[in-house]
Amino acid sequence: MALFLFRRLLQGVLMILVASVLIFVGVYAIGDPMALLVPPDATTETMEAARQSLGLDRPLYVQYFSFLTNALQGDLGISFVFRESALTVIMERLPATLELASTSMFLAIVIGIPFGVIAGMKPGGLADRALLIGSVLGLSLPTFWIGILLILFFAVNLGILPASGRGDTVEVFGVALSFLTLDGLRHLILPAFSLSLLPMAILGRLTRSGVIEAMSLDFARFARAQGNTRAQIVTRYVLRYISMPLVTVVGIYFGTLIAFAVVTESVFSWPGMGKLIIESINQLDRPMVVAYMMLSIVLFMFINLMVDILYSLLDPRVRLK
Amino acid sequence: MTAQEPIVSIENLTVEYALTSGSFTAVDNVTLDVKPGEILGLVGESGAGKSTVGSAVARLIDFPGAITGGRILLRNSGDLASLNETQMCGIRGSDIGMIFQDSLSALFPVKTIGAQLMRAIKLSTGLTGSAARARALKLLEEVGIPQPKARLRQYPHQFSGGMRQRIVIAIALAGDPQLLIADEPTTALDVSIQSEILGLLKRLAVDHGAGVILITHDMAVIEEITDRVAVMRHGKLIEHGATRDVLARPIQDYTKALIRAVPRIDTRMERFVVMDDAPAVSPVTRPQTSHIQADGPAIDATDVTISFMVKNAILPRNRSYIRAADNVSLKVPAGSSVGIVGESGSGKSTLARAVCGLQSIDSGKITLMGHDVGALASDPALKRERVKAQMIFQDPFASLDPRQRIGSALIEPLIVNKMAERDEAQDITLATLKRVGLSEDDANKLPHQFSGGQRQRICIARALVMDPAVLICDEPTSALDVSVQATILNLLKDLRDERNLTLMFISHDLAVIRQVSDRVVVMQHGKVCEEAETDSLFDDPQHEYTRHLMKMMPKFTSGARLQTP
C-alpha cells in the first residue's frame, strides 16, 4: 500500500509536470493577449512597457519556469481580466460547481442504481424495459436541450421553480452552499437533475447487467442453497460484487461533471467554474485558462487515486502495487 | 440400515427445459432414495442430468427449466416439489446442505469466511453473535481447518483449494442438514486433497447420520466412498444398486462401457475400448513421412530455473519469489513419450510452456530438436524450426476463437508461417480434420457447434497441420468425459506411432500418465522427485512423494474384471 501510494504520487507529479508544459505551450500559441490588455489607441511604446511589466517579452522557457516556480508556491498567475489571483477567482466559483456536480452524482446514484437492481432482478419485466428505453433517452438527448425543456416546463409553464442563478446560500467554513436553504435547493434541483441524466442512465444500465450476470454465478447459487432469499442475495452479495465497476464509472463521471458542467451552467446561469472558463477563453485570459486546466488535472488525478483506494477497500483481492 | 426411513425419496422426477420449440427433458422419470448415513453416488457423463437431479432436490432449477413431474419427499417436510420459494428458503441450508465443485467461485470473494459462515449459521439456526461464532469455530474444527480463530478473519483467496472446499463443506453443515448434495466436490482438487475431502464426507455422513448424494463423473470416486450408485445417461436412470454389485457385475451395456473406459493405474492398456456411439477413430489414411530425427534427444533441458515474483516491494530484500522450476533437467529421446505428473503448483505446466518457448527461463538451457529454445524464439531464420513443437491445452473451449470457423483456424498457422499456399493449406487442413475423426464439412462450422471431445480433436488437428516433431499436451483430457478421454488417448497413441511424434504429456492423473508414456517424471514444488521407466515407476516407486501420490489416487480396480467383454 505504501509502495503503491508512493508510486502513484510520483506518477501524478510527473503527469502534472508534463501536462503543465503542454498547457503552457498550447495556450501561448493562442493569440496575443496584448490586444486585449491595452487600450486600442495605445502606442507601441506603451504596449512594449506593458509587455515588459507582465514578463511577456521573455523567451518561452523562461516564462514557463517562472510560471512553474510560482505555481509550486500556489500562485497560478494574475488574471488579466479580474486583476487578481487566478486561483482565488476560480476557488470562489469552485464550490458552486462542486455542489452542482455532487448533487447530480448523488441523484444519479440514488435513482440509477436501485432502478438497475429492480430491472436486473427481473430481466424482460416492466422495470427492465422502462430502464432500457429510458436510458437510451438519457444517453442520447443533449443536456442543453433537456435543460431548456425543464426550464420551459417547470419555470415558465408551471412557474414553480426558478430558471436561473444559485439562490440563497449559507456559509459553512467559509464556503457558500445553496443546498442548505430552501431557496437554494429550489435553484439547484433543475440544473442538477438535467446534469444527472447521463450518469444515471449509465449507472442504471451497468447495475442491471451486473445484477443479471452476478445472479447466475456460483456464489449466488451457493448463497441460495444456504437459504438466502433472492432479495437477500442482491443486497448482501450482488451489490457488493458489482460495486467495483460502479465505483469506476462514478469516479470517471464525477470528474467529467466537474470539468464539463459548462453547458448546464450556461443554460441555468449557474455561477460556477464552467461559465467562468468560457468567459476567460473568449477574453484570452491566459492565466485563468492555465490555472483552470491545472486545477482540473489535479482534480482528475485525485479522483482516480480515490477510486483505486476504494477498490482495495471493496475487494481484498486487489493488492495495490 | 435395513428398516430405516429414507431421508429423501425421489419419485418419478421429471425436469424439462422449455426451448423456443418444444422442450428438452433433462431428467426423465427418475426414482431414487437416500437413507441416513448413506452415500448415494450419481454417476454419468456430461449432459446425463445428474447435476439437474441434485438441483431439483434443492429446488434450484430456474426458468426456463421446471420440475414437470414426480415428487421429492423429504423426511419430515413432505413433498418439496409442491412448496413455494419462501418455504424452500427455510428448507435450504437447514435441511439440505449443498457443496459445489468450484470452491473459489462458490465462496463470496469479498467477505471473510467468518462472515459467510456466520451468515449461513444465522439463516439455518437463528444463532447470532458469540453463539454463532462459537458454532463457526466448532464447524471449522470439525472439517479440519487448523487455527480456526485466525482463519475466520481471512478471505477465500487466502486459502488453498482443499481448505476452501472444507469451508464450503462447513457452510453446508451450518444447519446440521439431514441431506447433503455434493456436486463434483473433488473434481477441481489434487489427488491427495481429494482423498482427504472424500474421507471427510464419509465421516460426516456417519457422524451426523446425514444422507449424501454425491454427483460425480469419476468412477474411482464412486468406488471409493459410495454405498449405492445410480448410473445416469441422457436424463434416464440406467442402472441402480449397491456400488459393489454394479461395478462388479454391471447389467447394462452402457455401464460396462463406462467402466471399461476408465484408465487404470495398475496396468497399461494398448487401446481403450471405446463406447459404441462415441465417434470412432478413422483408420490411418495418409501415412506421413516421419521426421528425420537428428541424433540425440528431441527435448533436452539442463538445469532450468524459472521464478515468479509473488510480492513486490521497494527494497529488493522484501520481495519474494516462487520457484516454478528449480534446477530441472530432462531428456526426451526423439520418438518417445514422457509423462510429467504432479499436483497443482508443481511447475509442470510452466516447464511445458518453457519447452515451447512461451515462458522465458532464468537460468539453464533448453534445446528442442538440437536448437536452443531462446534462439528459436528470437531468430527469424529459425522460424520453421520453432513450430516443430506444438501445444495442446486443457480447455478446448477456451483455446478456440469462438468466432473463427474451424477451417480458418487451421489454415491460419500455415499461412502465417508461410508453410503453404492457401490451396495447399486447404488440402492439408481437410486431410488432417479427417485424420482426427472429423469430416470435411466441419471446416465450415464454428467452435460452439462441437462437443468438448470434438473440440479437443480440432485442437489436435490444429497442432498437427504444422507437421510437428514434438507434441506437448497440457492436461488434454482433464476437461473431458471418460469415454471421450479414451478416444482422445487412442488418437494420440495412433498419431504417435504414425508420425513418430515425440510426446510430452502433462497430467495430474497417474492412471492416464501410465497409459501414454514410456517414461514418467514426477514433479513437486518445481523440483523433479523421480524419473523412471513407466512400468518400473508404477511397480516400484522409489521416492516418498511418488508413493504418497499413488496411495492417495483412488484406485479403480473394478475395470480389471471387465476388460474382456
Work out the percent of chain A whose per-residue pLDDT is above 70: 96
Secondary structure of residue B373 in the 3-state scheme:
helix
Contact flag B107-A219 (C-beta cutoff 8 Å): yes
All domains in chain B, ordered by first residue: 8-260 (3.40.50.300), 297-388+468-562 (3.40.50.300)
Per-residue pLDDT tens digits for B346-396: 888 889 888 888 888 888 989 888 888 878 777 777 777 778 889 998 888
| Number of C-beta neighbours around residue A286 at 10 A | 23
Q: Which of A6, A224, A237 sits opposite B92 (nearest CB)?
A: A224
Chain B residue numbers with beta carbons less than 8 Å from the beta carbon of A234 are none
Nearest-neighbour CA in chain B from A252: distance (Å) = 23
Nearest-neighbour CA in chain B from A203: distance (Å) = 21
Nearest-neighbour CA in chain B from A229: distance (Å) = 6
What pLDDT tens digit does each residue of chain B (565 aa) get? 445 789 999 999 999 988 887 888 889 999 999 999 999 999 988 878 888 999 999 998 887 888 998 999 998 888 998 998 889 998 998 999 999 888 888 999 889 999 999 999 999 988 888 999 999 999 999 888 888 888 898 888 888 888 898 999 999 999 889 999 999 888 878 887 888 889 889 988 888 889 999 999 888 889 889 999 999 998 999 999 999 999 989 999 889 888 888 887 777 776 776 654 444 444 444 444 444 444 678 889 989 998 887 666 667 777 777 788 888 999 899 888 999 998 887 888 889 888 888 888 888 989 888 888 878 777 777 777 778 889 998 888 888 888 899 999 999 988 888 888 888 999 999 999 988 888 888 888 888 888 888 888 899 999 999 889 899 999 888 878 888 888 888 888 888 888 888 999 998 888 888 888 999 999 998 899 999 999 888 888 999 999 988 888 777 776 666 654 4
Per-residue pLDDT tens digits for A10-22: 888 898 889 888 8
Contact flag A222-B124 (C-beta cutoff 8 Å): no
* CB-neighbour burial class of residue B369 (10 A; exposed 0-12, middle 13-18, buried 19+): buried
| Number of C-beta neighbours around residue B300 at 10 A | 20
Q: Which residue of A has its CA nearest to B87?
A: A227
Q: Which residue of A has its CA nearest to B61?
A: A221
ipTM exceeding 0.85, yes/no: no
Nearest-neighbour CA in chain A from B181: distance (Å) = 10
Q: Could you give the CA distance from residue B524 to residue B546 in angstroms, rounded to a whole number? A: 9
Chain A residue numbers with beta carbons less than 8 Å from the beta carbon of B175 are 227
Interface membership of A229 toward B (CB under 8 Å): yes
Contact flag B108-A237 (C-beta cutoff 8 Å): yes
Nearest-neighbour CA in chain B from A119: distance (Å) = 17
Q: Are B102 and A218 in contact (CB under 8 A)?
A: yes
Q: Which residue of A has its CA nearest to B183?
A: A222
Closest CA to B460 of B485, B436, B489: B436
pLDDT, mean over chain A: 85
Q: Which residue has the cell 476567460?
A: A280
Q: Which of B89, B107, B110 sits opposite A227 (nearest CB)?
A: B89
Q: Could you give the CA distance from residue B128 to residue B227 in angstroms, rounded to a whole number? A: 37
Task: Give me B404's grid cell.
Answer: 473463427
Q: Which residue of B has its CA nearest to A316?
A: B110
Chain A residue numbers with beta carbons less than 8 Å from the beta carbon of B100 are 218, 221-222, 225
Chain A residue numbers with beta carbons less than 8 Å from the beta carbon of B89 are 227-229
- Determine the number of helices (DSSP H) and then strands (DSSP E) in chain B: 21, 20
All domains in chain A, ordered by first residue: 86-314 (1.10.3720.10)
Q: Could you give the CA distance from residue A146 to residue A27 in angstroms, rounded to a whole number? A: 33
Per-residue pLDDT tens digits for B38-71: 999 999 888 788 889 999 999 988 878 889 989 9
Report the predicted TM-score, pTM, of the whole model to 2 decimal places: 0.77
Q: Which residue of B has its CA nearest to A228?
A: B89
